[in-house]
């Protein structure tokens, strides 16, 4: 019984040591990317700080093409209506 208790305590101690050592690990790839979007937005504002004052319209699609594109996009979410087959049962009495 003592041998099992000693093994169990060593296992718990080893797991605790591994858990403690994981705190010493370096940042993950995801953590290294934190804040880059904010830094990029700030850099874009520095490149042209007066961009918000430009009143010329943005270049885009002509109105008919934009409407067709939007309708096609909206239809892509609806899907096709499924028609269930119907069965007609008639009974004749004599």
Predicted structure pTM score? 0.28
Contact between 61 and 67 under an 8 Å Cβ cutoff? The reply is no
Please report the DSSP string for 32-45 in residue order.
HTTTHHHHHHHHHH
Cα–Cα distance, 10 to 80 (Å, whole number): 62
Q: What is the pLDDT along the chain (94 residues), one digit of tens a residue?
A: 567 778 888 999 999 888 888 777 777 777 778 888 888 888 888 888 887 888 888 788 888 999 999 999 999 888 777 777 788 888 877 6
Read off φ and ψ for residue 3, nearest 5 degrees.
-65, -40
């Amino acid at each position: 019984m003592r041998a099992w208790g000693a093994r169990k305590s060593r296992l718990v101690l080893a797991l605790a040591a591994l858990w403690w050592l994981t705190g010493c690990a370096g940042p993950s790839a995801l953590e290294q990317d934190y804040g880059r979007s904010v830094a990029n937005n700030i850099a874009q504002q520095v490149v042209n700080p007066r961009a918000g004052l430009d009143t010329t319209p943005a270049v885009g699609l002509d109105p008919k093409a934009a409407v067709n594109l939007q309708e096609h996009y909206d239809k892509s979410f609806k899907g096709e209506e499924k028609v269930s087959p119907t069965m007609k049962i008639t009974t004749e009495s004599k």
